[in-house]
Structure 1
Amino acid sequence: MLGDDEDVFDSVTWESPNSPTYATEPTSAPSGPGFKQSTAETSEGPHDPKWEGYLITSVKDPVKELAETKDIYVSYLVSAKTNLPIYSITNPSARRRFQDFVFLREHLVKDFPACVVPPLPDKHRLEYLTGDRFSPEFMERRRQDLHTFLQRLSRHPTLQRSALVRAFFESTEWHVHMHQHVAHPPGPESNQGIIDNLSDTLLNAFSRVRKPDERFLSMREGVDRFEEGLVTSERLWTRARGRTSDLTADYHDLAVAVQGLGFLESGITEPLNHFSNTLLEFSALLRHLTQTTTDPFLIHLHSLLSYSHANRAVLKLRDQKQLDFEELSDYLSGVTAERDRLSAIISGHAGSSGLGIGSYLKDRVDALRGADDDRSRVEKMRKLDIKIKELQDAVTTAHETSDAFSDETLREQAVFQYAKEAEMKEMLSDLATGQIEFYKTAMEEWERIIPVIQRIRVDV
């Protein structure tokens, strides 16, 4: 499946030149939970993503650097296994700090605006103030979050082939590469032109697309339902976690009470002690279930919700591109109508120009200012012709940008759908495995204590 010629993904981003295609040698596809390699077997549409190879990443071994100094920080070992041709070695690795991950994501968002770049974990300001960010528990949780971040990057057919991602794993002079990337970004510089100036003045938070695309409306509805389901699940499981914590404490208290009862009933002290130990063991199992299954599940739910927000932002940006085109088209129509009106007045056919109340008032103001002669009108027409030419170019560019961005967004939604399904499968599998192990161990504990309790005889 990997390495087939038809699986080469030949589109990188809507505003960047196409990357050169690479020929890959046949390679056995690695197995793993939710690992997605190609869509050639299931679909052949123009907007279906194609994977050129695999990239398996990991984040491990958090280490405190420059300990006992004011510049202390935590570094993580990032490693990868890949068959992508752009990588010089198949098993690159390097040590990176959290700020390096921040730089990577920020510039991927700038370089690939049409891609759903996964979010990073929160910075946890409270831990920064209290110093707990160097505790083993906090470092392990951040390692897991960063591991999820890189996994999402590696599953993306475009981002996995980014030069910045490759340097993140391979470069031995990462700081030099960061400065070079800032000084010489891979894409063209975004010059402030007429399209940007008009977007700033004409668009606002209340603007809406007048001709929405049904495909993206259905996508937005799907995202809404997905996020609503995640929020509901997070709320229910948070409540269940609280109830489980209460049960853990209750079983512990019950074990202490049973042990005290054993001291009072000298004839059945030993079986009551066994029962007390079983209650303590069950309380420990509940605590272990919370720490190893429920908490990771809740963390993953929250992370997946943030990932969905990033996907929503891409859909919103696509609407913004269409809105740019619609507003520029309306502005061009208005300027063209004004030019035609002035031409009709000069040619003596003012009555056929369809003067409105706005144009009439404007003419009255120009008359009061003495600017209603033909020379001033001709000069205005000359300026309007120049503006129309600029607007026509801007409308053409906006239309091409909107269409290209829409095509790329359709491809991104397919990529996000595959990534979401893979994560949901892995997340629910881990949850089910943890629950099965808990109930299996709990059943063994209770089955051992039942015969002991049944042998208890109390003389009345």
Structure 2
Amino acid sequence: MGTQNPSAVLDVISEHKEITALLSKDSTKDLDHSSICSGSTFDNDNSLVHSPSIESFSSIQDIENLAELNMDEDSDLTVKIDNPEKHLDTMETYITFRVTTRSARIEFSDHEYVVRRRYKDFLWLRHRLIECHPFCIVPPLPAKHSLIGQLDRYSKDFIITRMKSLNVFVSRICHHPILSCNENFKVFLTASPSNFATYRKKKASVTSSNGSITTLSSTHSTLKSRHIEFDKMKSYLSTLAEKLNSIEKISSRINKERSDLIAEISNFHPIFTKWASFEPQLCTTLENIAHALERSSNAQSALVLCYSNSMSIPIREFLQYIEVVQEALKKRELSQYNYEMCLDELNRRHTEKDRLLAISQDSNHHPPTGGFTLWRQPTCDDKLEKLGAHIPQLLKKVETAQDNLEMASESLRSDLEGWQLEKKQCIKKILLDFVNKQINYYQANVNAWEHVTNEMISSRKVNPSTK
């Protein structure tokens, strides 16, 4: 592809008129055509200058685990997200990603689809999945950039980190037996830009007409019965989140201290180098020590630089995953709370009916005298008539609430089994990456100082009189 500027991750995509205006000016010589993957191409929806795909940066050392983005040939539905592009619009600037889908499922008319989606499209997809499957564990999305991070949200590191997180998000959906069959997910993967925009507007109007989603509240303390299985999971998640938070904070503090240590160690190198110029007999040894200190400092610098990708970011993303599971547990508790409230209301109505029946029977055995008792009898009958119509409705409401609770429990139980397996894999990967980085660091240190020792031994063999 020719020479590549590593800092130029994304090229600018603008309207055709804006590009034409730029090309007509003398400033066209300032455009970096080496960063364009296959020249300038235009389509009907938006005239684009294609930026290089993520594969074009595979030689850069700080891009790791690109193999995770490869398509899984053994699965009947695989999705890969790559090729970030930066768009310049009149109102905003944003990034889109190429979404490549391969499917062997009968509900897909073709075997492969290629579309482009931006971050807010992924947000829409997740919101729709939550609306359609409220009791499923819908995986989290990478957090939207913070106010401070807005200035750097178009950098190479930020885009690559987000792209990897989006791949994880979509991969989790593809492996979910229910979410992967959702119609909104299929449209997200296959629809053209115009069709996708129309579909989103249609769904937005339907959602607004149905009203807002019920707000979740803390109902655990008011529940009459406790489900031991879900209570244990709730406590476990709280403990796990606390442990991971502690690990992230401690490792962050260690990383900061290591950064300060690097600055101190870097001062050794010029001291030993300068000292060697004044000690001819110790010149070789002092230079070797200076070189070893430099290599040690470089090894620590590499460890510090990879800390975010190997420890901090993965832990924070998994903490988001834990929060999603906790929200799913709260939804099940809300479903249980609604069931118990409906059941209590039904029991109250039955109690009221029994009381009115007792009053009615007592009135039949003891005929009333006076206007007061004659007025009470019609009122009691009216109440019984209303209860006779209201209790069947409450009974249906209780049955529906019970079905929802059973569905929520079964769905959550199934998702928790899959989540437990993924949790083991994710945490194992985080820890193994951390271990491997530490091994590489200490191995580089050992090699640096062993080189000094070997050089000293060799010099003594050559010149035995050297002490």
Match of 1:376 among 376, 379, 393: 379
- Paired AA for residue 392 in structure 1: L
Query: Would the alpha carbon gap of residues 54 and 289 (structure 1) be closer, same or farther in structure 2, given more than 3 Å must change?
Result: farther
Query: Would the alpha carbon gap of residues 250 and 88 (structure 1) be closer, same or farther in structure 2, given more than 3 Å must change?
Result: farther
1:337 has 2:341 as partner: no
SS of residue paired to 2:142: coil
1:436 has 2:439 as partner: yes
The correspondence of residues 246-265 of structure 1 with structure 2, limited to 5 A, is 246-265=260-279
The residue aligned with 1:314 is: 328
Query: Would the alpha carbon gap of residues 227 and 348 (structure 1) be closer, same or farther in structure 2, given more than 3 Å must change?
Result: same
Long gaps (5+) in structure 2: 1-66, 366-371
Of residues 394-403 and 130-139 in structure 1, the stretch that sits farther from structure 2 once superposed is 130-139
The residue aligned with 2:430 is: 427
What is the deviation of 1:311? 0.8
1:154 has 2:174 as partner: yes
Match of 1:62 among 76, 84, 89: 84
Q: Residue 62 of structure 1 contacts residue 139 of structure 1 at CA under 8 Å; is this kept in 2?
A: yes
Query: Would the alpha carbon gap of residues 420 and 250 (structure 1) be closer, same or farther in structure 2, given more than 3 Å must change?
Result: same
The residue aligned with 1:358 is: none
Q: Residue 219 of structure 2 contacts residue 337 of structure 2 at CA under 8 Å; is this kept in 1?
A: no
- Paired AA for residue 345 in structure 2: Y
What is the deviation of 1:388? 1.5
Once residues 268 and 316 of structure 1 are traced to their aligned partners in structure 2, the CA distance between those partners, rounded to angstroms, is 70
How many residues were matched structurally?
Answer: 384
The residue aligned with 2:201 is: 179
- Paired AA for residue 82 in structure 2: K
What is the deviation of 1:334? 1.0
SS of residue paired to 2:266: helix
Once residues 372 and 60 of structure 1 are traced to their aligned partners in structure 2, the CA distance between those partners, rounded to angstroms, is 79
The residue aligned with 1:414 is: 417
Query: Would the alpha carbon gap of residues 58 and 447 (structure 1) be closer, same or farther in structure 2, given more than 3 Å must change?
Result: farther
Q: Residue 223 of structure 1 contacts residue 308 of structure 1 at CA under 8 Å; is this kept in 2?
A: yes
Q: Could you tell me the TM-score, scaled by structure 1's length? A: 0.73
SS of residue paired to 1:131: helix
The residue aligned with 1:165 is: 185
The correspondence of residues 13-32 of structure 1 with structure 2, limited to 5 A, is none
Once residues 210 and 113 of structure 1 are traced to their aligned partners in structure 2, the CA distance between those partners, rounded to angstroms, is 23
The residue aligned with 1:97 is: 118
SS of residue paired to 1:58: strand
Q: Residue 84 of structure 1 contacts residue 161 of structure 1 at CA under 8 Å; is this kept in 2?
A: no
The correspondence of residues 40-439 of structure 1 with structure 2, limited to 5 A, is 53-66=75-88, 70-127=91-148, 131-173=151-193, 174-183=196-205, 205=219, 207-265=221-279, 267-293=281-307, 295-348=309-362, 373-439=376-442
Query: Would the alpha carbon gap of residues 436 and 160 (structure 1) be closer, same or farther in structure 2, given more than 3 Å must change?
Result: farther
What is the deviation of 1:106? 0.9
Once residues 240 and 372 of structure 1 are traced to their aligned partners in structure 2, the CA distance between those partners, rounded to angstroms, is 83
What is the deviation of 1:303? 0.8
Deviating beyond 4 angstroms after TM superposition, the runs of 4 or more aligned structure 1 residues are 189-192, 203-207, 453-460
- Paired AA for residue 291 in structure 2: N
Q: Percent identity?
A: 23
Q: Residue 65 of structure 1 contacts residue 73 of structure 1 at CA under 8 Å; is this kept in 2?
A: yes
Question: Structure 1, residues 399-448: CA drift from partner, whole Å, max 9, x if none?
Answer: 11111221111111112112212222333333333333333333333322
Once residues 364 and 406 of structure 2 are traced to their aligned partners in structure 1, the CA distance between those partners, rounded to angstroms, is 39
Query: Would the alpha carbon gap of residues 269 and 55 (structure 1) be closer, same or farther in structure 2, given more than 3 Å must change?
Result: farther
SS of residue paired to 2:418: helix
Once residues 117 and 336 of structure 1 are traced to their aligned partners in structure 2, the CA distance between those partners, rounded to angstroms, is 40
The structure with higher relative contact order (CA 8 Å, sep 6+) is 1
In angstroms, what is the RMSD of aligned CA positions?
A: 3.5
Long gaps (5+) in structure 1: 1-31, 38-51, 352-366
- Paired AA for residue 114 in structure 2: S
Once residues 226 and 350 of structure 1 are traced to their aligned partners in structure 2, the CA distance between those partners, rounded to angstroms, is 66
What is the deviation of 1:330? 0.9
- Paired AA for residue 327 in structure 2: A
Query: Would the alpha carbon gap of residues 319 and 59 (structure 1) be closer, same or farther in structure 2, given more than 3 Å must change?
Result: same
- Paired AA for residue 430 in structure 1: D
